[in-house]
Amino acid sequence: MRSRCSRRLEKQSGGFGCILDALLITGRISTPTKRSYELFARHVLPHSLDSNIARDASLNWVRDNGKELMGKAMSAAAETVQKHFAEGRRERQELVTPTTTPTNLL
């Protein structure tokens, strides 16, 4: 799933190792360079190693099935809210409706 751009860059440069060697010529790693390495490791290497195949498949599945999943989640949430309010009404009715008649009032 490597991008066309990353394959072209790899071919032109002789590989990603050459790019890293060019960045290390100074002998020290500055904060921006370190950040660049972190971004490179997170976003470029996974594509060059095809290590994101399962992640990409998962993201595609969620994208393709997201509407159905959200619909079910929203229905479940609405059902839970309705059940909660129904239980509250039942409890309030039980408090208002006396179940026994005091004998001293008869």
Q: What pLDDT, on a 0 to 100 scale, did the predictor assign at position 80?
A: 95
**pLDDT at res. 24:** 59
One domain, residues 41 and 6: yes
What does the pLDDT read at residue 70? 92
C-beta separation of 20 from 13 below 8 A: no
User: Is residue 6 a part of any domain in this protein?
Assistant: yes
The residue range of the domain holding 85 is 53-96
Long-range pairs of 93-101 with CB within 8 A, sequence gap ≥ 24 = none
Contact 6, 48 (CB under 8 A): yes
Tell me, yes or no, whether 23 and 60 share the same domain.
Answer: no
Residue at 67 is within a domain: yes
Q: Please count the structural domains in the chain.
A: 2
- In degrees, rounded to 5, the angle at the alpha carbon of residue 56 between the alpha carbons of residues 53 and 58 is 110
Residues 2 and 41 placed together within one structural domain of the fold: yes
Residues 63, 24, single domain; the answer is no
| 20 is a domain residue | yes
pLDDT in tens, the chain (106 residues): 556 766 776 677 666 555 565 555 656 677 887 888 888 888 888 777 777 788 889 999 999 999 999 999 999 999 999 999 999 888 878 777 666 555 655 5
Q: Are residues 82 and 47 in the same domain?
A: no
Residue 11 lies in a domain: yes
Residue whose C-alpha is closest to residue 3's, from 38, 31, 45, 34: 45
- Single pTM value for the model: 0.36
